[in-house]
């Protein structure tokens, strides 16, 4: 019998995952692991919607602003660190909560990563230079030729994913897709996946409101302070790259903000598509009744613990 359960809270951005994570952490008297890859970095607080000081005080959080944007930190690094942290937490808790909208990072913890052979690091350096010297379309075009199957699935606006896939294609002479979905390592805990859902209009309205709040809270100043670091991988993300265009003189501020909203909405759509791949997720309305929701989750946890 496996009595240890990881409650993994997923769903599109701005839907209320942090609030639910804190609610469940308090109910089960446990701690929270963040699987939001954008919230790892100390220098990126406003644009990544890091939990507020009050929220962080409500429950112990791990993997929030624990790295600098200058430190390389891969999904493989996170998998190893998160599993080590979980091993320690499960010494004192039968239940731990994980929350985050980065699907690959969630999967890294719950099911494990696909295994890839090592390739020459110079390939990545070359690809990064191509990205800096040209537009992202050059990477997209390369991937379409080398791995059309993965090209149809990947987030084509995410340079990290494109470069990772291309370095494997180039370094091995095989498609990135050929290494996917092989048997992975077993976990010594059960996973209860809880997804928050809402109508598309609700999600989009919440995203637009969040971006407006970020701007009021000083996102423009945060991005200005990072201008000399704009080429770092961590900053090639929604909320930052659009305002870099404004500071470069390419866009007006109003247009940059509208692009942040549009790109965040697109991101939310991709998140939903990713998370819906898991048929075992228990989907709950974002405006749940707390008592009913907790009773439902307690029942699901109990079933897992007694399997």
How do residues 90-116 score in pLDDT, each as one tens digit?
Answer: 999 999 999 999 999 999 999 998 888
Is 85 annotated in a binding site? The answer is no
Q: Where in the chain is the domain with CATH 3.40.50.300?
A: 5-113+184-305
Query: Which residue is associated with the tokens 């090592």?
Result: 118
Is 13 annotated in a binding site? The answer is yes
% of the chain with per-residue pLDDT over 90: 83
Q: Does residue 82 surpass a pLDDT of 70?
A: yes
- State the Cα–Cα distance between residues 173 and 169, nearest whole angstrom: 5
Q: Can you state the angle between helices 200-216 and 253-275, rounded to 10 degrees?
A: 140
Q: Does residue 46 surpass a pLDDT of 90?
A: yes
- Among candidates 36, 10, 30, which has minimal Cα distance to 90? 30
Is 18 annotated in a binding site? The answer is yes
**Predicted pLDDT of residue 296:** 96
How do residues 110-140 score in pLDDT, each as one tens digit?
Answer: 999 888 888 898 998 899 888 888 889 999 9
**Predicted pLDDT of residue 113:** 86
DSSP, residue by residue, the chain? ----EEEEEE-STTSSHHHHHHHHHHHTT--EEE--GGGGBTT-STTTTPPPHHHHHHS-EESSS-B-TTS---HHHHHHHHHHHHHHHTTT-SEEEEE-S-HHHHHHHHT-PPP-----HHHHHHHHHHHHHS-THHHHHHHHHH-HHHHTTS-TT-HHHHHHHHHHHHHHSS-GGGGTT------SSEEEEEEEE--HHHHHHHHHHHHHHHHHTTHHHHHHTTGGGTTSGGGSSTTTHHHHHHHTTSS-HHHHHHHHHHHHHHHHHHHHHHHTT-TT-EEEETT--HHHHHHHHHHHHHHHHT-
**Predicted pLDDT of residue 276:** 94
CATH architecture observed for domain 121-179: Orthogonal Bundle (1.10)
Q: Does residue 217 surpass a pLDDT of 70?
A: yes
The tokens describing 45, both together, are 């607080």
Is 14 annotated in a binding site? The answer is yes
**Predicted pLDDT of residue 132:** 81
Q: Share the mean pLDDT of the chain.
A: 94
Is 201 annotated in a binding site? The answer is no
Q: What is the mean pLDDT of residues 145-156?
A: 91
Residues 8, 114, 25: CA angle, nearest 5 degrees = 15
Find out whether 14 and 268 touch, Cβ atoms under 8 Å.
yes
**Predicted pLDDT of residue 121:** 84
Is 273 annotated in a binding site? The answer is no
Split at pLDDT 50, 70, 90, the class of 12 is very high
CATH architecture observed for domain 5-113+184-305: 3-Layer(aba) Sandwich (3.40)
The tokens describing 184, both together, are 């992975």
Q: Does residue 1 surpass a pLDDT of 60?
A: no
**Predicted pLDDT of residue 160:** 81
Find out whether 282 and 10 touch, Cβ atoms under 8 Å.
no
Q: Does residue 205 surpass a pLDDT of 90?
A: yes
**Predicted pLDDT of residue 116:** 82
How do residues 247-292 score in pLDDT, each as one tens digit?
Answer: 999 999 999 999 999 999 999 999 999 999 999 999 999 999 999 9
Q: What is the mean pLDDT of residues 178-190?
A: 83
The tokens describing 199, both together, are 């109508």
Q: Where in the chain is the domain with CATH 1.10.20.140?
A: 121-179
Split at pLDDT 50, 70, 90, the class of 2 is low
């Amino acid at each position: 019998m496996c009595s240890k359960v990881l409650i993994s809270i997923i769903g599109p951005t701005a839907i209320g995952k942090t609030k639910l994570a804190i609610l469940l952490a308090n109910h089960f008297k446990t701690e929270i692991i963040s699987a939001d890859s954008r919230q790892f970095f100390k220098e990126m607080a406003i644009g990544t919607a890091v939990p507020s000081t009050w929220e962080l005080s409500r429950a112990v959080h791990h993997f929030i602003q624990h790295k600098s944007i200058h430190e390389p930190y891969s999904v493989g690094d996170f998998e190893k660190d998160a599993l080590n942290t979980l091993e320690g937490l499960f010494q004192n808790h039968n239940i731990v909560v994980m929350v985050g909208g980065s699907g690959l990072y969630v999967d890294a913890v719950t099911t494990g990563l696909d295994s890839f052979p090592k390739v020459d690091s110079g390939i990545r350096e070359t690809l990064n230079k191509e990205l800096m010297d040209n537009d992202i379309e050059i990477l997209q075009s390369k991937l379409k030729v080398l791995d059309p199957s993965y090209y149809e699935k990947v987030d084509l606006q995410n340079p990290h994913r494109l470069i990772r896939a291309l370095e494997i294609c180039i370094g091995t002479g095989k498609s990135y897709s050929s290494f996917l979905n092989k048997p992975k390592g077993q976990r010594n805990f059960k996973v209860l996946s809880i997804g928050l859902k809402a109508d598309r209009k609700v999600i989009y309205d919440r995203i637009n409101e969040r971006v407006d709040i970020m701007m009021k809270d000083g996102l423009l100043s945060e991005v200005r302070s990072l201008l000399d670091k704009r080429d770092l991988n961590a900053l090639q993300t929604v909320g930052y790259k659009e305002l870099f265009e404004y500071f470069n003189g390419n866009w007006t501020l109003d247009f940059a903000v509208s692009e942040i909203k549009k790109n965040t909405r697109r991101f939310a759509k991709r998140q939903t598509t990713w998370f819906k791949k898991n048929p075992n997720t228990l989907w709950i309305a974002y405006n749940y009744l707390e008592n009913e929701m907790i009773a439902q989750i307690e029942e699901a946890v109990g079933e897992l613990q007694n399997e």
